Amino acid sequence: MVGSSSPATIILQISIFLFTFPPTFCNFLPSQTLVFPLQTQNFPHRLSAASSSSDKLSFQHNVSLTVSLAAGSPPSMVLDTGSELSWLHCKKAPNLRSVFDPARSSSYLPVPCSRPDCATRTRDLHIPPSCDPKTKLCHVAISYADASSIEGNLARDTFVIGSKTRPGTLFGCMDSGSSSTSEEDGKTTGLMGMNRGALSFVNQMGLSRFSYCISGLDSTGVLILGDARFSWLGSLKYTPLVLETRPLPYFDRVAYTVRLEGIRVGSKLLPLPKSAFVPDHTGAGQTMVDSGTQFTFLLGPVYTALRTEFLKQTEGVLRVVDDPNFVFQGAMDLCYRVESGQPDYKSLPDVNLIFNGAEMRVSGQKLLYRVNGSGGNNQVYCFTFGNSDLLGMEAFVIGHHHQQNLWMEYDLANSRVGFAEVKCDLASQRLLSRV
């Protein structure tokens, strides 16, 4: 979620996949590949039960990407590839369906202020931890762009994923906070971070590679922890990660940052200098690939150029909403009115995001998103690119909506991200038949 989105709502946001894992215990083997089936559904719904196999699970989908795991005693939690510190709700509240109770876990250990974990292991957190004067425990806090926040104490416990366990995993045991999305928060127990930070699930589990394939609603998908080398997958196109060691005010050093070099609409390359895509001396302008953000957001000048060209090429094909003040989700101001049926997706020009060494094609239904509440003969569809400036973001963010039906591989061993066009429902069928 780029460290700034609420874990279960949508201001820049997200699509949520929830998985429940039975607490089975054995040693974690970083070299072993784990395959998990996914099944998308519309939110809100009750959580699906886990299947009989400890390595098979189902999930539910609104508009972000998350995964549930078992930790200590029975509760499940949610995974986000754009966040670092994993956390669990540790205080009962009316809106929460379940919470993590430290008293019920024999493996739970709070982290005191005096431990090195409270300082040296938390260097990547946006808000430095502090010492709770009453409990003498390491206090952590996380805030999000939608004004929600969560805080509590740093702790250790055993985390379980499928049939694998990780004793002594560091996480936040959160007992207070404010949220504008209590209804959505009640659907989850916590969050599991998957970015490149020292405290992320990736680093604590010793993962060198993971992959996922996201499909649309009411379809299937797959999550792979470990190597994913399949003959039918074909060749992935890789783009190197941009690694920054200097602490810059607007650069997230533990995000999956890549180099965006241009954008093409149909056959027309946007007339922008390469400097428009390069971070400045403060770090503002980095490009992050984030499964925790729903749509794709571009800095103002680049967004304006894309908007102008897309408008030009769709003139006579789509009818713009006649209200100049209509903005969807605070940053998407190019919306169309469709009087009946669906837009003619085949007549829309592709939008190609050009990276160093690879291109990501956005086409068809991935270009437009139907606004909830519009229906009948007065449907509204919005362009799935937004203006980062309107959200106060200093970055380009490639969201999961544009990652649908792409095999996405995060190769930490070789510091790169790879992707290839794949039918995710077929990919999951191939893989799950072997599980």
Asked whether residue 63 carries a pLDDT value surpassing 90, the answer given is no
Closest CA relative to residue 429, chosen from 12, 35, 160: 35
pLDDT tens across 126-136, in order? Answer: 788 999 999 99
User: In this predicted structure, which of 141-150, 243-252, 273-282, 356-365 has the lowest mean pLDDT?
Assistant: 141-150
Query: Predicted confidence band at 188 (pLDDT cuts at 50, 70, 90)?
Result: low
The residue among 124 and 56 whose pLDDT is bigger is 124
Asked whether residue 61 carries a pLDDT value surpassing 80, the answer given is no
Give pLDDT, residue 96: 58
Asked whether residue 12 carries a pLDDT value surpassing 60, the answer given is no
The number of angstroms, rounded, from the C-alpha of 44 to the middle of its chain's C-alpha atoms is 19
Give pLDDT, residue 144: 65
The residue among 147 and 90 whose pLDDT is bigger is 90
Q: Is 260 exposed, middle or buried (0-12, 13-18, 19+ CB in 10 A)?
A: buried
Q: Is 157 a catalytic residue?
A: no
> Is omega for the bond preceding 30 within 30 degrees of 0, making it cis?
no
Of the spans 38-47, 185-194, 249-258, which averages the highest pLDDT?
249-258
Share of the chain residues as helix, strand and coil, in percent rounded to the nearest 5: 15, 35, 50
Query: Predicted confidence band at 269 (pLDDT cuts at 50, 70, 90)?
Result: very high
Cα dist from 218 to 37, 122, 368, 383, 396, whole Å: 13, 39, 18, 22, 29
Cβ–Cβ under 8 Å, residues 95 and 75: no
Closest CA relative to residue 370, chosen from 219, 266, 217, 263: 217
User: Which residue among 55, 80, 185, 252 is the active-site one?
Assistant: 80
pLDDT tens across 208-231, in order? Answer: 999 988 887 655 677 788 887 788
Asked whether residue 364 carries a pLDDT value surpassing 80, the answer given is yes
Asked whether residue 80 carries a pLDDT value surpassing 50, the answer given is yes
Asked whether residue 40 carries a pLDDT value surpassing 50, the answer given is no
Cβ–Cβ under 8 Å, residues 410 and 205: no
Which helix (H) or strand (E) element contains residue 391? helix 388-391
User: In this predicted structure, which of 154-168, 239-253, 330-344, 402-416 has the lowest mean pLDDT?
Assistant: 154-168
Contacts of 15 (CB under 8 A, 6+ apart): 61, 62, 63, 64, 65, 214, 294, 400, 401
Residue that has been written with the tokens 């920054």 in this structure: 244
Distance of alpha carbon 163 from alpha carbon 159, whole angstroms:
11
Query: Predicted confidence band at 55 (pLDDT cuts at 50, 70, 90)?
Result: very low
Q: What are residue 88's DSSP bridge partners?
A: 173, 190
> What average pLDDT score do residues 30-39 get?
56
Cα dist from 360 to 260, 365, 389, 426, whole Å: 10, 15, 23, 20
Distance of alpha carbon 20 from alpha carbon 146, whole angstroms:
27
Torsion of CA 92, 96, 102, 105, to 10 degrees: 140
Mean pLDDT over each residue of the chain, to the nearest integer: 78
Give pLDDT, residue 58: 30
Enter the tokens of residue 389.
């400036």
Q: Is 290 a catalytic residue?
A: yes
**% the chain with pLDDT above 70:** 72
Give pLDDT, residue 45: 28
DSSP codes, 328-390: BTTTB--EEEE-SS---GGGSPPEEEEETTEEEEE-GGGGEEEPTT-BTTBEEEEESEEEHHH
Sign of the C-alpha dihedral computed for residues 341, 346, 347 and 351 taken in this order: positive
Asked whether residue 430 carries a pLDDT value surpassing 60, the answer given is yes
pLDDT tens across 276-322, in order? Answer: 999 999 999 999 998 878 899 999 999 999 999 999 999 999 999 98
Distance of alpha carbon 318 from alpha carbon 344, whole angstroms:
8
Asked whether residue 359 carries a pLDDT value surpassing 80, the answer given is yes
Q: How long is the chain?
A: 435
Give pLDDT, residue 196: 92
Asked whether residue 13 carries a pLDDT value surpassing 70, the answer given is no
Give pLDDT, residue 184: 45
Cα dist from 304 to 119, 339, 430, whole Å: 43, 26, 41
pLDDT tens across 226-260, in order? Answer: 887 788 888 999 999 999 989 899 999 999 999 99
Which amino acid type is present at position 261? E
Which helix (H) or strand (E) element contains residue 211? strand 209-213
The residue among 15 and 115 whose pLDDT is bigger is 115
Give pLDDT, residue 308: 97
Domains and CATH numbers, the chain: 34-207 (2.40.70.10), 231-432 (2.40.70.10)
pLDDT tens across 408-427, in order? Answer: 999 999 999 999 999 888 88
pLDDT tens across 378-403, in order? Answer: 789 999 999 999 988 899 999 989 99
Query: Predicted confidence band at 176 (pLDDT cuts at 50, 70, 90)?
Result: confident
User: Which residue among 55, 252, 290, 411 is the active-site one?
Assistant: 290
Cβ–Cβ under 8 Å, residues 33 and 82: no
Which helix (H) or strand (E) element contains residue 324? none
Distance of alpha carbon 123 from alpha carbon 87, whole angstroms:
17
Determine phi and psi for 301, rounding to 5 degrees: -60, -40
